[in-house]
């Protein structure tokens, strides 16, 4: 088979439609490419070669009709349960864990005919913005191997950017899909809270977590999102209404969209290349006939603090179950308390421990009101602020991250600096809004820059329409690609 | 110090396992006694990624309890995580309710020594049960998660209870109510009803509350009353010596029948409650409340009062008959057949309840249906069979499960009122007991009953006692 690296979901679908390729052929070619490229970029933690091939073989006997992802290889973040197959969350504490069930999104991928190629690296339990907090390996940014891919879904973003998977799933709690998508020059979408089932997503912060697609372009993103969206009776927080048709109006363009531009865009501490991309985007929007207006964005000063209180509080509770009693790592010891302490002491990495401690603290008697309660009030204010904006606007546009990719090791010893890289992504999680990152250009160092769109609750279709409109003007794919694609 | 009298201030926290078919947050079965870890799934095992989904039948049952205890049902309540590490709790948090419970601010009425007392209900909320630890001889422990996720309601009383006996009758009433509602089997030994107690003392007349202590693991009515009595005695002794009460949790030791200190306040848990993000706030509208209200049967207290008013029963008889809904239902069905509430209550209280006690079966499995007992009583009341014969018939009905009419016919126990037959037995009795006849005629009139008894014996209890008496009197006075 020809070089697969540049193939999108749409082009693969077209090849299947023309019967130019068969699933076994495609899957074999991707497995070969993974074998060749993954040792360099380390996007995958586990490759399910045997299972992928047998799935592909089974698909060959089936009708592609009604299967939107027929024969499409998909990489899945390692915090999404795959029955009988490793699901480690990149943590030593789950190193040998095999869940007895598939996540709802995995079921839906299978039903749509997708082939799950393996599980991708991430920051341990999705806690981090660089994928350096993995207990197992350091993922490289396919655009430059000295740089981090971002995180926590860094493995999924790097797999798509490196052309070893046409599509991937990530999870986004404070930007963990959009930020690595931005840093790796791919598209990443987080839907409205509740749009995609969380059943089978190993919880980090339950009120913020959402699974979403990472793809090469906006159309692919809409296709994968369409497959995984929709009500799930196993997730009480899933949106009861049926998911909207994401492709019907996607090509309507930017004309007529009312788009809010952050008033402080020019004064924010942004790297120049990011500011240039943002300013350029404002011009594009005007040229394309969108109505733009400057507004004050809610939560720009408060969302990081609010996010790290709420997310860590929930995390401290969600991660309590890893105690050595039932599954995962168990440290040998003589007493129950010692077993708890040693198992968790050995099993969790630094960042996870830091967040469990912070989360435990903010929920403790005497501190709850000052931290957790206060953060809930701030959250309500941020939600109100966005709601007001979306009575007048269809979309907000802003950078995904204040900088392009940073070097591996650059921020790992400075947690606050790392946390601040989430400044533009956390508000959408706090308000439960759909948001997407799309590649807009590259920095002078040749690193991708992502722009972010946020839409009102339930408005994924508008979000994707805006994203496709911008993508057409950015012409990113046509102009830029990492060298590794040619390998 | 020694002459100060103390008043105990007692509150009960009762956990009742709900009789839903499936668990509260997943669809696993709640059947008791299955092989360990066979009634489990990713949700109740708390596996990574699994999420709870609320069982609405459990909510209806909790609302039922709320209504039965005159609580306000919150239009919106919130599930909260209670965080603590224990191996029987697979997520290391329990999904309970905290500052916004489902039911609040009600009461339960008790009748003690002729007076009515209202014990306030602070709240009724829903939560999931934990698994069970099994400690083996080798010193290691095993966990059975079958019970994990069985729905519980926690019923928290206000500190309105003032004596161990009052706690006992509150708990009895509570158990009666949950059984009437059919939401819990009330079995304390199997742990489907569990009770924790809070106790503090204060000088009589004082309004200020003292430091409270807690007793856990009280798994019988006797344990509840004994535990409270012991704790009151302990606290009184400490206070009389001028000491202060420490905020401790005691465990009831069922084998030793004593209290064992479990932990002091310094080791008290900080449960770090916060709203459960995996479940939406629970909304209960008027329609749901009304639907539940419509399914609530007449409750024990109302029924006791109605039995006294409508059937002319004593308070005691009404209370005995209403203790179990099944017995009260049975009694009313007997009354419908027999027509006489007093005779019916005598028979149900003496004969039926005695049989139940002796055989250890429940009223639901009792072989004599109430309609048949009613039929029998109609025969007795109508003079078709005598009272004595009736008791024999009843015993036979219990044994064979046959109807009253069938047994009476089979045993030939219809009362005999035919004078020819009676005359023959009377003649026989008089000739066999000529000495007694002489003594009777000489003035020893007390012997009359003896003659009647002899005739009854000859007739195997079938002789109509009234007619026999009349005929005997006539014959003896001749």
Distance from C-alpha of B114 to C-alpha of B429, rounded to nearest angstrom: 52
Environment class of residue B8 by beta-carbon count within 10 Å: exposed (0-12), middle (13-18) or buried (19+)? buried
Q: How many H helices and E strands in chain A?
A: 16, 11
Record: contact B47-A372, CB cut-off 8 A: no
For residue B279, list chain A residues with Cβ-Cβ distance below 8 A: 236-237
Tell me if A396 is assigned to some domain: no
Looking at the partner chain, which of B45, B53, B83 has a beta carbon nearest the beta carbon of A320? Answer: B83
pLDDT of residue A214: 98
Report which DSSP code applies to A320. G
The mean of the pLDDT values for chain A is 96
Burial A5-15 (b: 16+ CB within 10 A, else e): bebbbbebbeb
Report pTM: 0.91
CA distance B49 to chain A (A): 4
CA distance B267 to chain A (A): 14
Q: What percent of chain B is helix, strand and coil (3-state, nearest 5)?
A: 40, 20, 35
> A469: closest CA among A249, A279, A184, A273?
A249
The model's pLDDT over A5-43, given as tens digits with 9 standing for 90+, comes to: 789 999 999 999 999 999 999 999 999 999 999 999 999
In chain B, what is the straight-line distance between the N-terminal and C-terminal CA atoms, in Å?
83
Q: How far is CA B322 from CA B181, B193, B298, in A?
A: 13, 20, 11
Q: Taking a C-beta distance cutoff of 8 angstroms, is the pair B14, B174 a contact?
A: yes
In chain A, what is the straight-line distance between the N-terminal and C-terminal CA atoms, in Å?
14
Beta strands A115-120 and A73-77: pairing type?
parallel
Q: Is A176 a catalytic residue?
A: yes
Tell me if A238 is assigned to some domain: yes
Domain residue limits, chain B = 6-292, 298-411, 419-477
Count CB pairs under 8 A between chains A and B.
Answer: 98
Dihedrals phi, psi of B336, to nearest 5 degrees: -60, -35
Environment class of residue A117 by beta-carbon count within 10 Å: exposed (0-12), middle (13-18) or buried (19+)? buried
pLDDT of residue B349: 95
pLDDT of residue B392: 87
The model's pLDDT over B156-178, given as tens digits with 9 standing for 90+, comes to: 999 999 999 999 999 999 999 99
> Over 70: is that where the pLDDT of B251 sits?
yes
Runs of H (alpha helix) within B30-152: 56-68
Q: Is A130 a catalytic residue?
A: no
The total number of residues shown for chain A amounts to: 487
Dihedrals phi, psi of B275, to nearest 5 degrees: -60, 135
Residue B136's region, left for phi above 0, alpha for psi from -120 to 50, else beta, is beta
pLDDT of residue B137: 85
Q: How confident is the model at residue B459 (pLDDT cuts 50, 70, 90)?
A: confident
For residue A340, list chain B residues with Cβ-Cβ distance below 8 A: 85
Dihedrals phi, psi of A170, to nearest 5 degrees: -125, 180
Record: contact A237-B277, CB cut-off 8 A: yes
Distance from C-alpha of B204 to C-alpha of B193, rounded to nearest angstrom: 32
CATH number of B419-477: 1.10.10.410
The mean of the pLDDT values for chain B is 92
Dihedrals phi, psi of B473, to nearest 5 degrees: -60, -45
Distance from C-alpha of A123 to C-alpha of A155, rounded to nearest angstrom: 9
Tell me if A194 is assigned to some domain: yes
Q: Provide the CB-side half-sphere exposure for B399 (13 A, CA).
A: 7
Residues 6+ apart with CB under 8 A from A318: A203, A204, A205, A206
Interface with A, mutate which of B48, B52, B267 (most A CBs under 10 A): B48
Tell me if A443 is assigned to some domain: no
Residues 6+ apart with CB under 8 A from B456: B386, B388, B463, B465, B468
CA distance A327 to chain B (A): 9
Distance from C-alpha of B172 to C-alpha of B228, rounded to nearest angstrom: 15
Give the DSSP H or E segment for B465. helix B465-477
Residue A175's region, left for phi above 0, alpha for psi from -120 to 50, else beta, is left
Please give the average per-residue pLDDT across A247-253, as a whole number: 96
R_g (Cα) of chain A, nearest Å: 21
Looking at the partner chain, which of B49, B274, B279 has a beta carbon nearest the beta carbon of A372? Answer: B274
Question: What is the edge-to-edge ordering of all strands in the sheet holding B274-275?
Answer: B93-97, B79-83, B274-275
CA distance B278 to chain A (A): 6
Q: Is A152 a catalytic residue?
A: yes
pLDDT of residue B266: 66
For residue B44, list chain A residues with Cβ-Cβ distance below 8 A: none
Question: What is the edge-to-edge ordering of all strands in the sheet holding A448-455?
Answer: A44-47, A115-120, A73-77, A167-172, A210-215, A187-190, A435-442, A448-455, A395-399, A258-262, A291-295
Q: Taking a C-beta distance cutoff of 8 angstroms, is the pair B194, B252 a contact?
A: no
> Over 80: is that where the pLDDT of B114 sits?
no
The model's pLDDT over A56-74, given as tens digits with 9 standing for 90+, comes to: 999 999 988 889 999 999 9
pLDDT of residue A2: 63
Closest alpha carbon within chain B to A318 = B91
- Domain around A164: 9-244+469-486
- Return the CATH number at A176: 3.90.1300.10
pLDDT of residue A121: 98
Predicted complex: ipTM over 0.90 = yes
Touching A: B residues 404-443, CB under 8 Å = none
Residues 6+ apart with CB under 8 A from B469: B448, B452
DSSP per-residue codes, A380-435: HHHHHHHHHHHHH-SEEEEESSSSS--BTTSSTT-HHHHHHTTTTTHHHHHTT--E
Beta strands B76-77 and A187-190: pairing type?
unpaired
> Over 60: is that where the pLDDT of B1 sits?
no
The model's pLDDT over A198-225, given as tens digits with 9 standing for 90+, comes to: 999 999 999 999 999 999 999 999 999 9
pLDDT of residue B449: 87
> Over 80: is that where the pLDDT of A4 sits?
no
Runs of H (alpha helix) within B241-324: 286-294, 300-311, 315-322
Q: Provide the CB-side half-sphere exposure for A48 (13 A, CA).
A: 25
Q: Per the structure block, which two tokens stand in for B168?
A: 């006992």
Distance from C-alpha of B39 to C-alpha of B72, rounded to nearest angstrom: 35
Residue A150's region, left for phi above 0, alpha for psi from -120 to 50, else beta, is left
> Over 90: is that where the pLDDT of A266 sits?
no
The total number of residues shown for chain B amounts to: 478
Please give the average per-residue pLDDT across A359-380, as a whole number: 96
Q: Taking a C-beta distance cutoff of 8 angstroms, is the pair A351, A415 a contact?
A: yes
The model's pLDDT over B332-345, given as tens digits with 9 standing for 90+, comes to: 999 999 999 999 99
The model's pLDDT over B56-107, given as tens digits with 9 standing for 90+, comes to: 999 999 999 999 999 999 999 999 999 999 999 999 999 999 999 999 999 9
Record: contact A363-B274, CB cut-off 8 A: yes
According to DSSP, the residues that pair with B11 across neighbouring strands are B198
Q: Taking a C-beta distance cutoff of 8 angstroms, is the pair A237, B280 a contact?
A: yes
Environment class of residue A213 by beta-carbon count within 10 Å: exposed (0-12), middle (13-18) or buried (19+)? buried
Looking at the partner chain, which of B49, B52, B278 has a beta carbon nearest the beta carbon of A81? Answer: B49
Domain count along chain A: 1
Report which DSSP code applies to A122. -
Q: Per DSSP, which regions of B245-345 are E strands?
A: 248-253, 258-264, 274-275, 282-283
Q: Say which range, A250-259, B307-316, B363-372, B457-466, has the weakest mean pLDDT.
A: B457-466
Q: Per DSSP, which regions of B326-436 are E strands?
A: none
Q: How far is CA B373 from CA B313, B341, B376, in A?
A: 19, 13, 5
For residue B93, list chain A residues with Cβ-Cβ distance below 8 A: 317, 320
For residue A199, list chain B residues with Cβ-Cβ distance below 8 A: 49-51
Q: Which of A152, A171, A303, A421 is catalytic?
A: A152
CA distance A403 to chain B (A): 32
Preceding peptide of B293 cis, ω within 30°: no
Coil/strand/helix, residue A188: strand
> Over 80: is that where the pLDDT of B416 sits?
no
Looking at the partner chain, which of A202, A317, A336 has a beta carbon nearest the beta carbon of B93? Answer: A317
Tell me if A434 is assigned to some domain: no
Looking at the partner chain, which of A199, A327, A360 has a beta carbon nearest the beta carbon of B272? Answer: A360
Tell me if A157 is assigned to some domain: yes
Runs of H (alpha helix) within A92-172: 104-111, 154-161
Question: What is the edge-to-edge ordering of all strands in the sheet holding B248-253?
Answer: B72-73, B103-112, B115-128, B151-157, B6-17, B193-203, B213-218, B248-253, B258-264
Record: contact B90-A202, CB cut-off 8 A: no
């Amino acid at each position: 088979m020809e070089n697969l690296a540049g193939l999108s979901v749409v082009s693969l679908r077209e090849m299947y439609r023309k019967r130019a390729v068969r699933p076994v052929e495609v899957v074999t070619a991707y497995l070969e490419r993974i074998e060749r490229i993954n040792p360099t970029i380390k996007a995958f933690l586990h490759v399910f070669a045997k299972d992928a091939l047998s799935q592909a073989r089974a698909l060959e006997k089936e009708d592609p009709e009604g299967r939107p992802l027929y024969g499409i290889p998909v990489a899945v973040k390692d915090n999404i349960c795959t029955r009988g197959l490793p699901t480690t969350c990149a943590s030593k504490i789950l190193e040998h864990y095999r869940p007895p069930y598939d996540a709802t999104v995995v079921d839906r991928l299978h039903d749509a005919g997708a082939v799950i190629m393996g599980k991708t690296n991430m920051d341990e339990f999705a806690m981090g913005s660089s994928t350096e907090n993995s207990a197992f390996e350091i993922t490289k940014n396919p655009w430059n191997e000295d740089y981090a891919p971002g995180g926590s879904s860094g493995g999924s973003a790097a797999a798509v950017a490196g052309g070893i998977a046409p599509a991937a799933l990530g999870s986004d709690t404070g930007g963990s899909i959009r930020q690595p998508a931005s840093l790796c020059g791919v598209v990443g979408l987080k839907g409205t809270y509740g749009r995609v089932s969380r059943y089978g997503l190993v919880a980090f912060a339950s009120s913020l977590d959402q699974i979403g697609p990472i793809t090469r372009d906006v159309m692919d993103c809409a296709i994968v999102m369409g497959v995984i969206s929709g009500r799930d009776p196993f997730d009480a927080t899933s949106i009861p209404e049926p998911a909207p048709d994401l492709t019907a109006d996607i090509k309507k363009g930017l004309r007529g969209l009312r788009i809010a531009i952050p008033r402080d865009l020019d004064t924010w501490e942004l790297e120049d290349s990011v500011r240039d991309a943002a300013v350029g985007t404002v011009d594009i929007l005007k040229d394309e006939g969108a109505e733009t207006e400057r507004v004050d964005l809610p939560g720009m000063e408060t969302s990081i603090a609010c996010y790290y209180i709420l997310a860590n509080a929930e995390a401290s509770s969600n991660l309590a179950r890893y105690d050595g009693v039932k599954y995962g790592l168990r440290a040998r010891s003589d007493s129950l308390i010692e077993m708890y302490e040693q198992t968790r002491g050995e099993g969790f990495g630094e960042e996870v421990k830091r967040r469990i401690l912070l989360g435990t603290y903010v929920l403790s008697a005497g501190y709850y009101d000052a931290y957790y309660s206060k953060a809930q009030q701030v959250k309500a204010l941020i939600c109100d602020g966005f709601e007001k904006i979306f009575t007048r606007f269809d979309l907000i546009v802003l950078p995904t991250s204040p900088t392009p990719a940073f070097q591996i090791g650059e921020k790992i010893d400075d947690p606050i600096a790392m946390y601040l890289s989430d400044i533009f992504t956390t508000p959408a999680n706090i308000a439960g809004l759909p948001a997407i990152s799309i590649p807009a250009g590259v920095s002078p160092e040749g690193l991708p820059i992502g722009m972010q769109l946020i839409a009102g609750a339930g408005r994924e279709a508008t979000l994707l329409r805006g994203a496709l409109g911008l993508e057409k003007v950015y012409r990113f794919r046509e102009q830029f690609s990492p060298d590794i694609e040619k390998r | 110090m020694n002459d100060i009298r103390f008043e105990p201030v007692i509150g009960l926290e009762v956990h009742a396992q709900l009789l839903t078919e499936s668990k509260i947050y997943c669809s696993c079965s709640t059947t008791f006694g299955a092989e360990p870890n066979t009634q489990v799934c990713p949700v109740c095992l708390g596996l990574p990624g699994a999420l709870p989904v609320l069982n609405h039948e459990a909510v209806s049952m909790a609302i039922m309890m709320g209504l039965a205890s005159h609580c306000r049902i919150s239009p919106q309540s919130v599930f909260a995580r209670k965080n603590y590490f224990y191996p029987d709790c697979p997520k290391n948090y329990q999904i309970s309710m905290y500052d916004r419970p489902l039911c609040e601010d009600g009461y339960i009425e008790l009748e003690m020594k002729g007076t009515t007392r209202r014990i306030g209900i602070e709240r009724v909320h829903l939560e999931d049960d934990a698994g069970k630890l099994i400690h083996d001889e080798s010193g290691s422990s095993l966990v059975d998660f079958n019970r994990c996720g069985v729905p519980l309601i926690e019923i928290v009383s206000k500190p309105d209870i003032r004596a161990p006996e009052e706690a006992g009758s509150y708990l009895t009433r509570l158990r009666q109510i949950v059984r009437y509602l059919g939401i819990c089997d009330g079995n304390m030994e199997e742990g489907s009803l569990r009770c924790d107690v809070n106790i503090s003392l204060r000088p009589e007349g004082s309004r200020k509350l003292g430091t409270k202590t807690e007793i856990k693991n009280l798994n019988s009515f006797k344990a509840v009353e004994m535990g409270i009595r012991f704790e009151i005695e302990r606290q009184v002794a400490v206070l009389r010596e001028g000491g202060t009460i420490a905020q401790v949790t005691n465990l009831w030791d069922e084998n030793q029948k004593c209290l064992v200190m479990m932990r002091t306040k310094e080791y008290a848990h900080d449960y770090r409650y916060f709203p459960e993000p995996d479940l939406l706030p629970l909304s209960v509208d008027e329609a749901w409340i009304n639907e539940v209200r419509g399914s609530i049967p007449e409750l024990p207290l109302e029924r006791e009062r109605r039995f006294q008013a409508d059937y002319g029963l004593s308070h005691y008889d009404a209370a005995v008959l209403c203790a179990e809904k099944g017995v009260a239902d049975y009694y009313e069905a007997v009354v419908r057949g027999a027509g006489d509430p007093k005779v019916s209550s005598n028979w149900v209280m003496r004969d039926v309840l005695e049989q139940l006690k002796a055989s250890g079966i429940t009223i639901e499995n009792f072989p004599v249906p109430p309609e048949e007992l009613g039929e029998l009583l109609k025969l007795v009341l109508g003079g078709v069979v005598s009272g004595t014969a009736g008791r024999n018939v009843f015993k036979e009905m219990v044994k064979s499960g046959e109807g009253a009419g069938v047994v009476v016919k089979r045993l030939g126990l219809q009362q005999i009122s035919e004078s020819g037959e009676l005359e023959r037995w009377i003649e026989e009795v008089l000739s066999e007991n000529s000495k007694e006849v002489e003594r009777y005629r000489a003035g020893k009139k007390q012997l009359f009953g003896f003659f009647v008894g002899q005739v009854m014996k000859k007739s195997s209890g079938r002789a109509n006692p009234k007619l026999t008496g009349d005929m005997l009197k006539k014959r003896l006075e001749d």
